Amino acid sequence: MAARLKNRAMVDNIMVLASPTNMPDRPSREAPPETRETERPLYTRVQSYENIGPRHEQQDAAGHGVIMIDNHPVLVDVVADGHGGKDGSVIARAAVHEILKGVKAGQPLGKIFFEKLFLQIHQGLVEKKLKGGTALTVTLVDGKHLVLAYVGDVEAKIATRNGKLLLINKPHHLGGHAAETERIKKSGAKIFENRVLHDEGARLLVQKMLLPGATRNVGEIDLIPGLDMTRSLGDAEYDPHVLHTPEFVSHNLVDDDRFLLVASDGFWKTIEQNKAARYLAGILAGAKDAAAVRSKIAALLDECILVDNVTLEIVELHKKGE
């Protein structure tokens, strides 16, 4: 698909990506099950899960659909994780949909296209003068390839047939992404260490970037506003330190690639802090399809202490036994 994406055009989408009108905020702890399947070679299926968790509103937004490239259906999956409010993620998701609909026949699709797409969304968020921004991951999948463009901390992982998870994109976290952290430090940004407590009393160390010109007061539990990502959309107040262009990743799918999980950091943090990685691996290794994965993950999260909004897209890459 990499060559196809670089040299072919996207024509109008067949299945509409989820929009703010058909994916409303849900006040309940767990959203009602939502199934949106796409007929694909190699039996690709998609399942969605979202949970408001401990927050007062859902700041994540996700959706997926199918576009045609060279008369070939390609799955498009979008996950956005907003901060400072829900508007950034909802607007970003809708903008991806609108921009993909507007692609003309013969228009090249590749790294340059995605850089322009992300910058266009970023500028739109800045013009709206939102109080926060968003992380954004856009993934395209056909039967043999996967390409992904992202800023921020929405992670994509492939689950193999034995349940092992392989990270596709390294999140843009201060302190976690070495190259990005070094770039930020060289840019002259002010960085401070934020120690916060979670429910078991352990201290978590988070690095954040101060707004240019801001000062900080030191307390036992430091809750100073800041940004812990090196790339995001919106957040123009952190310029020139934070980038708004995406990293671009491609992956050739193999028979052992069973599922693709694209999720907000609230999902991955919840799994980590509840020491549930072993249970997740068992779910992925034994599930017959994406619907079973969704059902069992929902049950697992019911037993966990959620630390944030949780949004998860599950893409079935190959059927069990295929």
pLDDT digits (tens, 9 = 90+) for 169-182: 999 988 889 999 89
Q: pLDDT tier at 212 (50, 70, 90 boundaries)?
A: low
User: Buried b vs exposed e over 241-252: b needs ≥16 C-beta within 10 Å?
Assistant: bbbbbbbbbebe
Q: Which of 9-18, 111-120, 127-136 has the lowest mean pLDDT?
A: 9-18
Kindly state whether residue 118 falls inside one of the protein's structural domains: yes
CATH number of domain containing 112? 3.60.40.10
Number of domains making up the chain: 2
> What does the alpha-carbon distance between residue 129 and residue 122 come to, in Å, rounded to a whole number?
11
- My answer on whether 184 and 282 are in the same domain is no
Determine the 3-state secondary structure of 71 from DSSP: coil
Q: pLDDT tier at 102 (50, 70, 90 boundaries)?
A: confident
- My answer on whether 217 and 254 are in the same domain is no
Model pTM score: 0.82
**Residue 291, token pair as written in the block:** 């619907």
Roughly what angle, to the nearest 10 degrees, separates helices 277-286 and 290-302? 160
- My answer on whether 198 and 304 are in the same domain is no
Domain span holding position 192: 178-228
- My answer on whether 223 and 256 are in the same domain is no
- My answer on whether 183 and 304 are in the same domain is no
Kindly state whether residue 154 falls inside one of the protein's structural domains: yes
- My answer on whether 307 and 271 are in the same domain is yes
Q: Average of pLDDT values for 124-137? A: 94
- My answer on whether 158 and 255 are in the same domain is yes
